[in-house]
Structure 1
Amino acid sequence: MSSYLYRVRLDKIGNSCGLLSNEVSLDILPLPVVNSPISIVQCDDDLDGITTVNLTVNNSQISANSATQTFEYYYTQADAQNEITASKITNPTAYVNSSSPGAFTLWATVKNANGCFEVVQINVQIVTTQIPASYTKTFNLCDDYIDATINVTDGSDGFTKFDVSSVTDDLQTNVLPAGTYTIKYYRNVADRDSQLNEIVDPSNFRNDIPNVQVIWARVDSSVSNACFGYAKINLVVNPLPSIDLTAQEYICSDNPSIIKILTAGINDGSSTANYTYKWVKDTVEIIDQTGPTLQTNQEGIYTVEVKTSFGCPRTRTITVTKSNSAVFLETTVIDLQEENTVTINVTGDGNYVYSLDNELGPYQESNTFYDVSPDIHTVYVKDLYGCPTSEKTVNVVGAPKFFTPNGDGYHDHWNIIGLSKIYNSNAKIYIYNRFGKLLKQISATDQGWNGTFNGIPQPADDYWYTLELENGRTAKGHFALKR
């Protein structure tokens, strides 16, 4: 009768005239082809008969065209037949049977693209998991530390890649009875019960909860999709040692008796006894060194593998470079000036800083000292890499501007400052009056001139000097005698 054409004739009693309607085509649309009733068997892991059920899991058993049809679920057959919105189940993928433990019946409407629907009976049975509760698999792996964004030295971001696919073989070999089964893996209980968000590749699963995570294997019948049981899987990520990964150390190449102690760099306060150690120098293992420290006086690239009791290793690299104490070159002294300067020239592999007259410092990075007083000074050059400090005596020559030979013990003699028995002991110093008369010749080792000529005190006045140093350098100047 589908697609036939129909007319309606209207006759009035007592009147032979009638009316005839236009043609109308009648189409009869097909209902969905469904199987009813169908069953869902869900597992319960705590024996209370209440669990979460995904009511959609067997839609393909209800209809071969389930992918293109609309399913809605109801508590009663009448509500389903009348499509009562108020009694529709709103969470069919995570339905909890809290009011009907054990076994219960629900109803579904299956609607096709034409809007035609059939009502299907769904019988749900809650059964105890048939995998023993004692069955648990634990996987312990070391942190691979590729997700770290903070605390980059502690070695513990809590994530790594697990291969748990061996659980499938173990269940099939040692737990499941004869039959064909589907084994799938899920991140949590909610996904396990609703059979959503499956772990697609259990051989390459990266935990998404740090340090310790529980995931589940779910076993279902390959024939009926009935739940057989759950297997608990513990994932444990063991931390790597918390160490400083790199270090720079220096040895004194000119003093091999100075030993440098290299350390494993453990930085979290844990006991060094908690780890094992393997030391390597320039890719060659140091066989007899298995402790947390290593003594050396040789430069090179050292590594130490630090391993936890769980067997999780981490490697620290220590670059040992040679240094040495400063070796003095010729010192540049500009003296007999209003402002004397001293420049210390050195050579060596170290990183040097400089101090004048005090080994304890302060030290400066510049090798030039300004406004240095005339005197015999000691210069100290310290290696910041730890090699011994070098020192050198430096003479800065200067001429006092005046003296007061009045016998009070202060400034009673005049002499060039900065000369000594060691430095220019044979220097000659000539003193003249303003008329150019030679009054006195003195040496660097004398007290100096006492202001007399042939025992006669000379008057207060300006006097001149000529200085002749051993290296041929000469200098001239004047000074005042005050009385």
Structure 2
Amino acid sequence: MNKSLKLKKTFISLFFFMATSFFFGQVDEPPVVIAEGNQAFCIGNPINIVTNFSITDGDDTTVDSFFIQISSGYQVNFDRLELTGSYPTINSQWNNIQGKLSLTSSISGTEILLTDIENAVKSIVFSTTSNNITTKKTFSLTIDNANYLPVTDHFYQFISSPSITWADAKIAAEGKTYYGRQGYLATLTSEEEANFAGEQASGAGWIGGSDEETEGVWKWVTGPETGTVFWNGQVNGSTPNYANWNNNEPNDFKGNNPDGEHYAHITDPSIGNRGAWNDLPNEGGTDLYIAKGYVVEYGTTTDLPLKIAASTSIYIPQITATTSATICESGIATISATASEGTILWFDAMVGGTQLFPSGNSFTTPILNSSKTYYASTSVNGCISLDRTAIEVVVNQKPTITSITEDLICSGSATLSATSSAGKINWYDSLTSTTPLFTGNTYQTLPITTTTTYYIEANIDNCISSSRVEVIAEVNSTVPEFDLVKDAYFLCTDTGSVTLETTNSLDNYSYVWKKENVIISGSLATNNATSSGNYTVKAISLAGCESVEKQIIVSNSNIATITNDDVLLVEDSDNNSIQVINDNLGIGEYEFSLDDEFGIYKDAGFFEKISAGMHTLFVNDKNNCGITTYKFSILAFPKYFTPNGDGENDVWKINGFNSDSFTIAEISIYNRFGVLLYQMESSSQGWDGRYQGKILPSNTYWFRVILSDVNGRKIEKTGSIGLIRK
């Protein structure tokens, strides 16, 4: 009994060990998904997403679910995947936001047979209602709900975790694995990746970007891109590679958080651009800016490929190149097109219209008299609904020369110009030459010494104007000639300007005036000088020839200023005279005349043998600045008088005295005892030799004179008077 029991226990232990070893030694391998298909899509016709498909599993015959997603080129609200045919064991559900079709078992508590999956996937079709279809779309097929992007060979998963912080999301993401791949907060380094993980994700949340280390320097701080800078600055910053910030982001909004916003987040889809980013503080924001979760990315450069996913694609065949044509006035033309694949079809309208034959890469038009547009499209497998590309045949009318501008030069290069109704202008040196000298509207000739004729024609795509038009560059090397009216002028200080004049010009010239070698305004034959100096003038002909410069000197001058101090008067003598004793009466050059403004002037300011009485000295500026007058009186004091009533020399008076010329006049007569006998009034006719009405005897009497004339000259004189009675 004991032995038997011992044997039994030994057998049971051995069986348990072997069974445990068997079961634990079996590893559940994931299915292998293989998909084929890179097909041309015929617009308007649904297309199967695969041409061949298989899913195998060495240790299973079923899967829980299967997912097909439009992973690139997806157009939300237009594109759709649909399971066609009858598959009673499979339920299909389309997610318009993610662009994903999910297949699950229709029988509760069971999985889908792999054979049913194979047949179903082969029956899934793509269709679209978009009028502007992206040229290529990629489909990812996988056994798991994580989104698969073929271009990166990475998987992406949104994890819902409302109000999670960025720091906690980073830890949580790095704690996740996917079929052996390490998870991390997503780093979205291309537009395709950002669109896929952002726009087509099932929710919005944290991603792996931060500027916590250096404000304004945004880096990826998770996964294999750790340390890569993707943005510098704030709203108006720039990216060295790729970034997908939302409108007015990143803004480092401090609001209730004085530390600012340092972590990247996919914005709620209702704000701005779907799938774009904003910056938030570690705790997230409020309302629509509360973090809903985070996006995990699985994949590094060292990861082995996972066979749980495969991809296929469709594309729209394209017209890749076209050749248009031009015709002059009328004729036929050959246009051409090339396509990425297929046969090229030709039409006369962008939509509808008539198909033109024959098909092929080139098409020859009928005779055209006006421009016409044709349309090329490629046909693959009989599809005639692909986009059409316009190719124009331009029928040009012969252009005409509409205007010309010729040139007249003295020598050197001429500038000629022309305009045309259309096209470009070619310049030639003869009516028949074939090689143009120049092409363009304005032609600067080479230096020429004689009048030269050029010929122009308009050319638009080799449609040439009917005849060539002459354009003349005229050379006239005649040097301008002219004279100066004067080569010296005087500028009077009280007049302000003087007119400098040229004369005897041989043609209609323009003039260049300079003062002290600096050009001054004015281009006419005369110019006003307002200050003294050295002036020059030269003439320029219509051809541009220049004369030699001629010099004009403008000097200052002025009317004379003369006072009592400037003259010396000799009077009451046998030879009365006036002499200008100051050589500096002003800045002018002066000459003198006595008592005759329009008489003869002389350079010397000395006049003698002047009679007693009022006189005027005229001082003339030889430079025509005017005449200054100096009025003066020559006085003579008689030595005697004979008051005998014969009408001659009956009274004593000062010869040359005029009361109007003197502001002060005191004339007194005394006897030898100093008795005042008579004092003349300004209106007096003189002293008649009486004192208090009595006739005084012959004797010697005395006079005393104090005078001040209108010039301020003072005269004080005393002397004797002989009174003689006969």
TM-score with structure 2 setting the length: 0.30
Larger relative contact order, structure 1 or 2 (CA cutoff 8 Å, min sep 6): 1
Give the number of the structure whose alpha-carbon radius of gyration is greater.
2
TM-score by length of 1: 0.43
